[in-house]
Amino acid sequence: MLFLRSSLYALFLIVTVIPYAFACLLWLPMPLHWRFKLTMGWPRMAIWGAKVICGIKWKFEGWENLPEGQAIILSKHQSAWETLFLPAYLPREVCFVYKRELHRVPFFGWGLAMLNMIPIDRAKGRDAFEQVVKIGQQRLNEGRWPILFPEGTRIAPGKTGRFKMGGALLATRTGAPVVPIAHNAGECWARNAFIKRPGLITVSIGQPIESSGLTPEELNERVQSWIEAEMHRLNPERYSKKKGAKPHEKSLQ
């Protein structure tokens, strides 16, 4: 049954993404706000399809912690699910930091390229981070929230990757607060796994951490401490200890 549902979902994604990608090209002349809103229709559709076809439900905790103004989102990274969910359901337009080569990916990359996010030209080496700071500041000034995954790659449930400094450096250079996010999407949608398992994903949003007065190292450590403590709370069976306090809960179904 899981294989059948996962196969139907894979077919659903393929059938919907191709015409949606061509539609994105049609509304390219529109203002960015409308391009973003229309393009996010497909990630919303993908999350909806995962719920209906595969039984993957979700809820927010700590929604009230999201600030009114500027913010940089630093999130746990377990699966492809959160890369679809966060830009589609957070209340602000967001922008990912990603390698420019993704623009070459058919359909998905096309949609990404038209949203004026923060692509990195890795060929520029150290200068690539200066690109991130410059463009990141522009996006913050536009009212958008940059999203970064400090671990850099998807990490299996119960494990912790090395938290890289990029997000903390961007925050301290721009003065924007950091909003940490923990979630357990990997319990339902594992890395590189075809089979999607039914269940409830909890997306937990922490209180903003002010970057002013902190070194990048101190900020990065605070972000990692909160996220990993919250992961212990969300799935204590994956860890030897249970840590963290319960945030307030808001369910959106």
3-state secondary structure of 150: coil
Are 137 and 147 in contact, with CB atoms under 8 Å apart? no
Q: Tell me how many degrees the CA angle 232-196-112 measures, rounded to the nearest 5.
A: 90
For helices 166-174 and 127-141, angle between their N-to-C axes, nearest 10 degrees: 50
Q: Which of 163, 181, 215 is nearest to 58 (CA)?
A: 181
How far apart, in Å, are the Cα atoms of 70 and each of 2, 143, 146, 177? 41, 7, 9, 7
Q: Which two tokens stand for residue 228?
A: 């990993």
What CATH class does 2-250 carry? alpha beta
The H-assigned helical ranges of 104-215 are 108-113, 127-141, 166-174
Predicted TM-score of the model (pTM): 0.89
Rounded CA separation 131/168 (Å):
15
Are 180 and 206 in contact, with CB atoms under 8 Å apart? yes
Rounded CA separation 65/53 (Å):
31
**Can you give the length of the chain in residues?**
253
Rounded CA separation 112/100 (Å):
10
pLDDT tens-place values along the chain, 253 residues long: 999 999 999 999 999 988 888 888 888 899 999 999 999 999 999 999 999 999 999 999 999 999 999 999 999 999 999 999 999 999 999 999 888 887 777 777 777 788 889 888 767 766 778 888 999 999 999 999 999 999 999 999 999 999 999 999 999 999 999 999 999 999 999 998 999 999 999 999 999 999 999 999 999 999 999 999 999 999 999 986 544 444 444 434 4
Chain centre to alpha carbon of residue 221: 20
* Strand (E) or helix (H) holding 53: helix 41-54
Per-residue model confidence (pLDDT) at position 25: 82
Per-residue model confidence (pLDDT) at position 184: 98
CA dihedral 171, 201, 54, 22 (to 10 degrees): -20
Q: Hey, where are the domains in the chain?
A: 2-250
